[in-house]
Every structure is written in structure tokens, then in C-alpha cells.
Homo-oligomer: A and B are copies of this chain.
Amino acid sequence: MQQILQQFQTTRNQSKELCKPLRTEDYAPQSTDFASPPKWHLAHTSWFFEEMILKKYSKNYQVFDDAYSFLFNSYYNSIGERIERKNRGLITRPSIETIYEYRAFVDDKMIELLKLNPSKDIEELTILGINHEQQHQELLITDLKHTFSYNPIYPKFTETNYISSKNKSKGWLEIAEGIYNIGHEGDDFCFDNELGKHRVFLEPYKISIALVTNAEFIAFINDKGYEQAKYWLDDAWHWINQNQLKSPMYWKLIDGVWHQYTLSGLQPVNPDAILTHVSYYEASAFAFWSDSRLPTEFEWEVASKQLEWGTVWEWTNSAYLPYPNFKIANGAVGEYNGKFMINLMVLRGASSATAQNHSRQTYRNFFSPNTQWQFSGIRLAK
């Protein structure tokens, strides 16, 4: 129990630490429907503890503000109405000072509750809330980068640019055919979508030890990769043409040299560094051009013990679908994962923006195949 309390405090502090370089204005805007303002992330993660735990388990709990249930609900239909997702940037009040007061209030009440020898339910929900907040810490970084990228003066957020370093080794790892166990086991925390531990038969395959580098992707660009339909899925071909895409997100060609916007400002692309900010569509086209393919999430999971990973999320060739015997939990918690199981592709691993202790081999991340704003890269298979 002591451990959960400590994790709770650590995680809550990390969110605040992360926001230290922000100026007040930076907390407010929303650049696109799928991203959220820093202020919203800070409030929503607190709302999660209030809504899922304090309201139910804390005796005589008085909410900090009645309006917050509405203002900071993300997508839980069972909890009631909410402001439209695209309007999160318009909620200028409460101010960020008040949001920090809200966080402190929720922290106090949670700590009080956790010190009272809490039930298994409270423990489990608290661990879920911690993991939820860790997910939002990563989104806070990627969303902020997206917003800042619209600013032609290329704001610098931190010294850390979150751009990955080089591969340590390369070559192909060969895995034999066989029945393998997939899914989470043990008592550690995992999300419901990792459960349903089950067996999968894999044909023999090879998987790359190194991730695709910027230099390799520039070779694809230079070989007119973005201009030839034959490399692209049909949807992908429409997507790059409609959006006139010619490179990964945040890349700009300046006097013949590829640059990229990073959270440390605009910088030249390092050819040896690991590629990031590509969509599944681009990953798939690159794989086709390379005469390779992307691994399935099962191939990835089986091979992962022998691989280095954790610098970029890795697109797999698996659609985000339920494991056998997957069950959606009752109530609001049940909306966490299951209802998104359509039209999304699975990413495995973790990225340079993922919170510490928030990655494992069975973790299933999932995004639409046109997603670029995450730190997402490519590992090939054959």
C-alpha cells in the first residue's frame, strides 16, 4: 500500500515537473481535435481520480467544483454530458492557478484515502489512475509539440528534444515457428486490452534488430517514394495526395537540407538517428519499398525480449482487436479501451516521451493509421 501511495505522489509530481517550462498562455490552446491543452490534461487526470474513486469511496466527499464533472470528462458516455472534444481550448476559466489548486485538493483527498488501509478496489483504481496519468503525460508532450509547430518562430520548450539516438546494433533476429503465449501474465498492472493471455501459432520469421533511421527514410524520399502509387495502400495514397505530404511530420526542407521541428526548436535531421513521426501509412509504404513488411504485434511481442526498444512506438501490421475472452468491464472503467477496437492499428514498445515505468512487452498502444504526431517509427520484418 505504501508503494501505491508513493507511486501516486511521484506520478502527480511528474505532471507538474513536466509543465515547469510552460508559460501561462501555453496551457490553453488546442491545435486539433485529437490533441488537448496542457491545462485540460492536468485537470482531466485529476477528474479521473475524483470521478472514479473519491466520489464513490471517500466518505462525505465534496467535489471541488460541480462544473468539473462536465468540463473535464473526456469520453465517458456513462458519466454524462461533456463539452465537445474540439472545444477544449476555449475553456479559459478556471485559470491554471485554479487547476493547480484542484490538483492539490484531489491529491490531499486521495492521500487521505490511501492512508486508511484502502480496499482492493480502491487500490486497483488508484493504480489505473496512475497509469492513466502517465499516458496523459506522454500526450501532454506530443500535443504541445503539435501546437508549438504552428508557430513560425519555432518555440523552444526544453533542452530535451525527445529525438531518438542511434541504433546500438543491427541485423536480423530469426524466430522459429511454434505456439507462443501472448498477453499479460502475473500480478503486475496491465490494461484490460492486454488480458486474455492466449496462444498464437507463428510461422518462422525474421525481425530487424535495428529500427529504421532517418538516412534510410531519406533514401525512400529521394527514390520518389512519396510519388509512386505502387508503394502505398489505396487509402494511404489518397491521404498523402489530399494532404500533399512529402515527408514525416514536422520535417521541412531548407536549402536542400532536411530539418525538423523539435521541442528544442528547429534542428537539422540527424541521418543516423532513429526515424520518428511517421504514420502507419508511411511505415507500410517504406516496408514495401524495402521489400520487407511490418511485424505483427504477436511477432513483436515474442521477439521483444531479444530486442532493444523504447525510443519510438513501433507500428505493427496488426489491427487493434480484442484478444480471445476479452471482456469489457462494467461501468465507466469499461469505456477505457474496448470501445476503440476498430479502424486502429497496434503500436508496440514505448517512446522517448513515455513516462518511466510505463512500458512493458505486452503493452498495446493503438492509433489511426494516419497518425503522425506520436513519436512513432518503423521496425521491419520478413
Contacts and interface: CB of A to CB of B under 8 A. Distances in A.
Interface stretch (A110-118, A266-274, A318-326): A318-326
Contacts of A78: 229-230
Given A235-B343, A318-B321, A343-B343, A150 B90 contact: yes
Interface string A266-309: 00000000000000110010001000010000000000000000
A299 to B, nearest CB: 10
A324 B322 CA distance: 20
Given A232-B339, A321-B319, A343-B369, A26 B89 contact: no
User: Chain B CB within 10 Å — which of A92, A150, A325 has the most?
Assistant: A92
A179 B201 contact: yes
Contacts of A105: none
Contact of A77 (B28, B83, B95, B229): B229
A359 B231 CA distance: 30
Interface residues of A, number: 68
Interface stretch (A46-54, A67-75, A158-166, A350-358): A67-75
Interface string A73-92: 00101100001000101111
Contacts of A70: 152
A337 to B, nearest CB: 11
A13 B331 CA distance: 55
Nearest to A232: B339
A204 to B, nearest CB: 9
Interface in A305-350: 317-319, 321-322, 324-325, 328, 334, 339-343, 345
User: Chain B CB within 10 Å — which of A93, A179, A235, A324 has the most?
Assistant: A93
A90 B151 contact: yes
Nearest to A280: B342
A341 B285 CA distance: 12
SS class, residues of chain A in contact with chain B = mixed
A135 interface: no
Nearest to A236: B342
A176 interface: no
Contacts of A325: 203
Contact of A93 (B27, B155, B198, B334): B155
Nearest to A77: B229
A200 interface: yes
Given A71-B152, A71-B153, A23 B343 contact: no
Contacts of A152: 67, 70-71, 83
Given A23-B95, A78-B229, 10 more contacts: A23-B93, A25-B39, A25-B93, A77-B237, A90-B150, A198-B203, A232-B339, A236-B342, A280-B342, A343-B369
Q: List the 5 closest A-B pairs by CB distance, nearest first.
A: A319-B319, A77-B229, A201-B201, A24-B24, A90-B150
Interface of A: 23-29, 31, 39, 67, 70-71, 75, 77-78, 83, 87, 89-96, 147-148, 150-153, 155, 179, 198-201, 203, 205, 229-230, 232-237, 280-281, 284, 288, 293, 317-319, 321-322, 324-325, 328, 334, 339-343, 345, 369
